[in-house]
A and B are shown apart, each in its own frame.
Chain A
Amino acid sequence: MQSLSSLPPAPLSAIVQMFHVYKTFDGQKAALADINLRIEPGEMVFLVGPSGAGKTTLLRLIFREEKASSGQIIVNGKNVSKMKDSQICQLRRKIGVVFQDFKLIHSKTVFENVAYVLQVLGKSKSEIGRKVWSALRRVGLEHKMDVYPKRLSGGEQQRVAIARAVVNDPVLLLADEPTGNLDLDTAREVMNLFIDINIQGTTVLMATHNLRIVEEMGKRVISLREGKIVHH
């Protein structure tokens, strides 16, 4: 009889899995070619590579902003390539996304920007109030609830965007160069926030140019170059 430890480890269900994924935009060479990867629950993974390497495209495939040209993508146990519109909505409700340019609604206050996500889901007023407050507390902005985004610094705006991304407890947090518009100190602060969020259990996948910060973190890194994963 074999001992338990000699058995191959049971494959935990991954949060993201890609099998031979290709993405080609009309009349161009492949933006992504033969991508295979696996991201486990609770991991924090950096996606690096030169401009045009396909980082943004890869993230967009995960929340179905783009559809893969071929290959299979499994997110949280569901095959993203076969999803209908209504299922895509369900998928996106489980994924938080943060962008370089924050993408806040300037006609809404900080509170409303975050509350928005929960209003879409038809949550009750009290639940929205509670969750938004705790999300803003997580990013240290609970005192700026009634301020409009224009009156916030870049770092603060990005923290609001992060609060919005985590307010509904996503299983996966995607970030596309979230520190790209910030100076090094502010970038470190924001990065620490992502670390906090990851420590509390959310899987994080972040595309970034900022190799210096990536090295400091000592986390898993996926390198892209011309649409392919490169192994060192």
Chain B
Amino acid sequence: MFTTRVRQLVYLLRQGIADVRAAGISASFAVVSVACSLLLLCLYFMVLGNLSKALDSALDLKVILYLRENLSQEQIGRLQKVLEGTAEIVNVRFISQAAALEEFRASLGKEAYLLDALDSNPLPASFELSLNPKVKEPNQLKPLLEYLAKRPEVESVQGGVEWVERLSNLLVAGRLILLLLGVILTIISLVIIATTIHLTVDRRRDEISIMRLVGASEWYIRLPFIFEGMLEGLLGGLLAIGLSAGLYYAFCWKVSPLIKLIFGAWSIDFLRLEKALLILVLGSAVGGAGALVSLSCRSAK
């Protein structure tokens, strides 16, 4: 009984594969359309994953307060007390003008001799603040940073929350747009798969009536079509992952150095394994659903 079922399944799976090949052009359309919609989903996952990672690292990014020139020792001490007394700030480090110059000199390496031409130190003293990682919401930091920027000792604030805020807005908007596009494209590819299956059912109509005649069950007749849809969906999913890998490497190659420059050590991640698997499962599910839609339209006639 069990081996009988397995043999039937193997036979039906083969039939499904043969159907995909016989469907030719229309099957390729179906695969490409699934790939397009799933590519959006891949991008969605990648953008989402990387942006929230960026957001995290942005929030434990250090905020630097550049100080005005000619501050007295007490003024600096008073500011330091204020900073250390603030809950959102976990660590305060003072960098004197001289220390700043030293760091700069070290970062220049071989080109450090350029600094020898300076006769006074152009770099300001600063406070380097580490923010509390528990403060995730940019809104919470905004009043604090505004307050600090207005203090008389402070020349300017770097690493403010504005771009963090913009990033998180972008995240919400990007998510919505990608998701919406993804849903629309998924519906389209479902319809395209249903159409391909429809064509196959038409092509094999005689065969199906003969199958009924010799006592094939309704499921036996339907399964190859469902396999066909699932296979087209799966191929679409693989193509989508391949395409996003291509995009990913192109992006890393061209854009990543730029990102490193702006954001420091932050780099972009590819799709995580479970997300890639999810894409494949979704692809097959869309394909199978397309087949079912097509078949139920048919039996409704």
Contacts and interface: CB of A to CB of B under 8 A. Distances in A.
B214 A122 contact: no
Interface stretch (A9-17, A69-77, A90-98): A90-98
Contacts of B251: none
Contacts of A123: 4, 7
Given A121-B4, A122-B5, A122-B7, A105 B218 contact: no
A106 B203 CA distance: 11
Interface of A: 63, 65, 85-86, 88-93, 97, 103, 105-107, 116-117, 119-124, 164, 168
Task: Give the interface centre of A117, A120, A168 by most chain B CB atoms within 10 Å.
Answer: A120
A93 B211 CA distance: 11
Contacts of B213: 63, 65, 92, 97, 103
A122 B209 CA distance: 19
Contact of A93 (B6, B207, B214): B214
16 contacts: A63-B213, A65-B213, A88-B215, A92-B215, A103-B206, A103-B209, A105-B207, A119-B8, A120-B8, A120-B211, A121-B215, A122-B7, A122-B8, A124-B3, A164-B214, A168-B214
Given A103-B206, A105-B210, A120 B215 contact: yes
Interface size class of B (residues with CB under 8 A): 20 to 34
The 8 closest A-B pairs by CB, nearest first: A92-B215, A122-B4, A93-B215, A122-B8, A120-B216, A117-B214, A122-B7, A89-B215
A180 to B, nearest CB: 18
Interface of B: 3-8, 11, 206-207, 209-218, 220
Which residue of B8, B11, B215, B216 has the most chain A CB atoms within 10 A of its CB atom?
B215
B215 A103 contact: no
Nearest to B7: A122
B44 to A, nearest CB: 42
Contacts of B6: 122
Most buried by B among A107, A124, A164: A107
B202 to A, nearest CB: 14
A121 B220 CA distance: 10
Nearest to A90: B215
Contacts of B215: 88-93, 120-121
A115 to B, nearest CB: 10
Contacts of A106: 206
Contact of A86 (B206, B210, B217): B217
Contacts of A119: 8, 11
A120 B220 contact: yes
B210 A116 contact: yes
Nearest to B1: A122
Nearest to A104: B210
Contact of A120 (B3, B5, B206, B214): B214
